[in-house]
Amino acid sequence: MSSPRKTTPSPISSPTAPLTVRTISTQEHRDFVESRPWASFLQTPAWAEVKPEWRAESVGWSRDGVLCGAGLVLLRQLPKVKRYLAYLPEGPVIDWDDPDLGAWLTPLTAHLRARGAFAVRMGPPVVTRRWSAEQVKAGIADDSVRRLGDVPPSERSQTGARVVSQLHELGWRPQAVEGGFAAGQPQFNFQIPLVDGDGSPRSEDDVLKGMNQLWRRNIKKAAKAGVEVTRGSHADLAAFHDLYAHTAERDHFTPRPRSYFETMYDALNGEADDRLTLWLAHHEDDLVAATISIRVGTHSWYSYGASSTEKREVRGSNAVQWEMIRDALRSGAHVYDLRGITETLDPDDPHMGLIQFKVGTGGEAVEYAGEWDLALNKPLYKAFELYLRRRSS
């Protein structure tokens, strides 16, 4: 028998040159994202235009002259000093399966340090745990369960765990997320898989069957009432924003200005056709719901939504969601992402309504590796943390 050490997978070290990081052009960055199955829309170069209060830079990893990774870095200046927090939201786009993440991250942080960064923050787009809708529902019904983590997951991802282990080893620190909605991107999301385990696309019928009875009934009800869902154009952003501002008032959140959505629309669609879609649900002549969806490759997100207080009974919200899901299926997406949920499964928590709405679509709750910081300048990083704490208290 041969020695098992030879046949066990050993860490894959580059057979050729090491990875290097440099600034890349918007076009190179865009082409790289297009060459990948998907990336977070927060990692597209267009996203930089949506965040004008941050300076932005596209960085790329090369090995033997071939671009093999990319990231959108947002740089925010520390008050009074010419030092920056470098932030890669839901990124970077690299091979997170690589057992030697240090080979990727070390040149990145060296590059950013040279650019004046005192710390790097990133959110590896890597799933660590999954829970089925049934498990989440059972958790909500169980009085002893308070948080999603109290429910045994359907899967713990080895890749995700390995990323977490390596980040600890490399000196990165996870950002505390109390309840799930931190300052950054949500760690817990709800998603509908649009392909089966073997990768073949699911049918509309199959997805519909995965929904709970209330969702199916509401979708049917909307169709029967004659709700019509159409794609909007830039000109319809005004109508969307009116309804969105109305929703914000009703649901007590602070609305973003109309210009924000106009910038987003132009930037994302300027980068790729139908990256961002505005959806309008009309009943007779009334706009009853309006949403924005975003798609990059095989990943489709439900991003913003608004609904009228009048005519709730025609179920415009369900109709527009169903149309977005169908569109995602038609365009070959693998995932329909309803984005953040909080970790709580406490029936008394005000976020429960939102979670139950999302859980009703079937699908699964997923946990990502979360956001991680690497301090490059410890005193400045400490000062920055202090500044954030003061600002939030």
- Minimal distance, residue 162 CB to another protein, in Å: 4
Closer residue to another protein in complex, CB, 7/200: 7
How far is 232 from 299, CA to CA, in rounded Å?
Answer: 21
Closer residue to another protein in complex, CB, 51/130: 130
- Minimal distance, residue 146 CB to another protein, in Å: 8
- Minimal distance, residue 6 CB to another protein, in Å: 10
List Cβ neighbours of 273 (8 Å cut-off, separation of 6 or more). Answer: none
List Cβ neighbours of 147 (8 Å cut-off, separation of 6 or more). Answer: 343, 344, 345, 346
Interacting residues toward another protein by CB under 8 A: 3-5, 7-11, 149-153, 156-158, 160-162, 164-165, 168-169
- Minimal distance, residue 148 CB to another protein, in Å: 10
Place of tokens 């990319």: 70
- Minimal distance, residue 159 CB to another protein, in Å: 9
How far is 10 from 24, CA to CA, in rounded Å?
Answer: 32
- Minimal distance, residue 234 CB to another protein, in Å: 46
Closer residue to another protein in complex, CB, 4/199: 4
Residue 282 near residue 230, CB atoms below 8 Å: yes
Closer residue to another protein in complex, CB, 168/382: 168
Residue 61 near residue 20, CB atoms below 8 Å: yes
Closer residue to another protein in complex, CB, 180/210: 180
How far is 321 from 323, CA to CA, in rounded Å?
Answer: 5
Residue 229 near residue 279, CB atoms below 8 Å: yes
Pairing of strands 55-63, 66-77: antiparallel
Closer residue to another protein in complex, CB, 116/174: 174
